[in-house]
Amino acid sequence: MPVGMLMPTQLMGGRFVTLCIMIRTTPWEVSRDVKLHPRDEEKWHTLEGVKRLREAFGVNNPNGRLTWGFTLNALEDKRTNFAQIREYAAQCQAKYGDEVTVFPGYFPAMYLPPERINKELSEAIKIISGFVGKGYKPQSVIGGFLPAESLKYLAEKEKIHVAQAVIWSQHNIDGGGADGSPSYPYYPSTEHFCKPGQGKKDLIDCVNLDGWSMDFICARQSGQTGHEITGYNSRRGVGPIETYKGWGLELGHREVMHTQSIHFDKGVELNGFGWVPNIWEAQMVYEFGMDFICDAMTKWVTDTLKRWPDTKWVSFGEFGNIWRDHYKSNDDYNYKFVERGCGLGDSYNNLEIRWFMNKAFRLALLRDWHHNTPEMVIDFTRYDLTAHEPVGARPDKPMKDWSLINRINQKGLRPEDKPVLLKDLTQEEQQLIYKHCPELKI
């Protein structure tokens, strides 16, 4: 076990990257018998492929740790490829301190009732403890989107207090979406997994983590036109498909580094720490080419450490618990971000966006800094209002949109989402904003 794993890590002053490598049998798995795409990816998941990917991650990053996320099918599949990958993940846990956990697809909340999700989470955790051995239990689960009831179950029944259970700003993409949450860690509410808990009565002791850092300029859109540089993609950021695959190794890398800089440069100054989450699907080494994907991995990790040498590469569970040790409730964080687009694709260089995220609300202000236009409110999501999750999701009747949208939403899909000046909000709304962000009061 690397010596660095035995040293306590402080949140403040740190730069953190959390990476998950996902192992699945088909795209968009939800459960054993609920698969949203028919393609069998057994041949795309090999021991050689995952070893090459792990080695690409570690070649210039010997103390780095990552998370292995297995779907329930990938945990139970008896075919040689999956059996070998499970064995290798267990070896990586022993050798590097990697985390091995369950990844119930991206969309369990959209297709399954919470009681079934909870049952299968426990079944998967038991399987993992069995093949990793030595009393091992993951510190987190990688859930895509998980309902509040499942987060409460993880905390109370499984004693797991970290979950990647929201995909920030995802809307009208693939099998489901849920815009409206903060992009940085928070304790969710029993009312809605996108809402920070407001007090002891509704706060769930399971830190909710995002899965990918987004380019805030790109994320304002709903959906996508594709991965090409000529269109728009609301999922552009650090994810490899929308960057390296979509734009090629060099241009894609520029976008990844630009997105990370939001958090690791000004972000550390504003928030006291910086964090970049990312999830890579193991099948990419066959769909897009092993050399290409492994080169992208090595380039990303190596250049991140060159630019920010103090970056710590830790598992999702490890980071979530570092945050949990520092923040005991949602009362004390007050996240702030500022970005000017990188000038590639839909990351428009003339736009500047500022985000403010706390227990009471999230607020986004957008302006054209080339022409010095006034800042306009493009998102004002209030967390002090009652929220409700959809109910009744089942495989034949999915609930695909779990967004928390109330006052103004960044996607601009409703008439009430028309951007306004801060001074044109109601007096009550302005007072709420100035209470948490007094610097915005003119």
198 and 279, same domain (yes or no): yes
- Number of structural domains, the chain? 2
Of 304, 326, 348, the last residue of a domain is 326
CB 160 within 8 A of CB 140: yes
Check residue 229 and give its pLDDT: 78
pTM score: 0.96
Rg of the chain in Å (alpha carbons)? 21
Q: Which domain holds residue 82?
A: 13-326
Residue 7 resides in a domain: no
Across 79-89, b (16+ Cβ under 10 Å) vs e yields eebbebbbeeb
339 and 317, same domain (yes or no): no
Residue 305 resides in a domain: yes
348 and 200, same domain (yes or no): no
158 and 61, same domain (yes or no): yes
Residue 56 resides in a domain: yes
Of 274, 296, 326, the last residue of a domain is 326
302 and 407, same domain (yes or no): no
| Residue 248 amino acid letter | G
179 and 301, same domain (yes or no): yes
| Helix/strand/coil (H/E/C) assignment for every residue in the chain | CCHHHHCCCCCCCCEEEEEEEEECCCCCECCCCCECCCCCCHHHCCHHHHHHHHHHHHCCCCCCCCEEEECHHHHHCCCHHHHHHHHHHHHHHHHHCCEEEECCCCCHHHHCCHHHHHHHHHHHHHHHHHHHCCCCCCCCEECCCCCHHHHHHHHHCCCCCEEECCCCCCCCCCCCECCCCCCCCECEECCCCCCECCCCCCECCCEEECCCCECCCHHHCCCECCCCCCCCECCCECCCHHHHHHHCHHHHHHHHHHHHHHHHHHHHHHHCCEEEEEEEECCHHHHCCHHHHHHHHHHHHHHHHHHCCCCEEECHHHHHHHHHHHCCCCCCCCEEEEEECCCCCCCCCCEEEEEEECCCEEEEEEEECCCCCCCEEEEEEECCCCCCCCCCCECCECCCECCCCCCECCCCCCHHHCCECHHHCCHHHHHHHHHHCHHHCC
Check residue 246 and give its pLDDT: 93
287 and 143, same domain (yes or no): yes
220 and 368, same domain (yes or no): no
**15's torsion region: left (phi>0), alpha (psi -120 to 50) or beta?**
beta
Residue 29 resides in a domain: yes
Residue 39 resides in a domain: yes
How far is the C-alpha of 338 from the C-alpha of 16, rounded, in Å? 18
Residue 398 resides in a domain: no
Residue 1 resides in a domain: no
CATH number, residue 66 = 3.20.20.510
114 and 84, same domain (yes or no): yes
Check residue 227 and give its pLDDT: 76
Check residue 105 and give its pLDDT: 84
Check residue 233 and give its pLDDT: 77
296 and 360, same domain (yes or no): no
64 and 126, same domain (yes or no): yes
364 and 316, same domain (yes or no): no
> What are the pLDDT tens digits along the chain (442 aa)?
444 454 558 999 999 999 999 999 998 898 998 887 889 999 999 999 999 999 999 999 999 999 999 999 999 999 999 999 999 999 999 999 999 999 998 889 989 999 999 999 999 999 999 999 999 999 999 999 999 999 999 999 999 999 999 999 988 777 678 999 999 999 999 999 999 999 999 999 999 999 999 999 999 988 766 676 777 777 899 999 999 999 999 999 999 999 999 999 999 999 999 999 999 999 999 999 999 999 999 999 999 999 999 999 999 999 999 999 999 999 999 999 999 999 999 999 999 999 999 999 999 999 999 999 999 999 999 999 999 999 999 999 999 999 999 999 999 999 999 999 999 999 999 999 999 999 999 7
CATH number, residue 340 = 3.30.1120.110
Check residue 8 and give its pLDDT: 59
Residue 393 resides in a domain: no
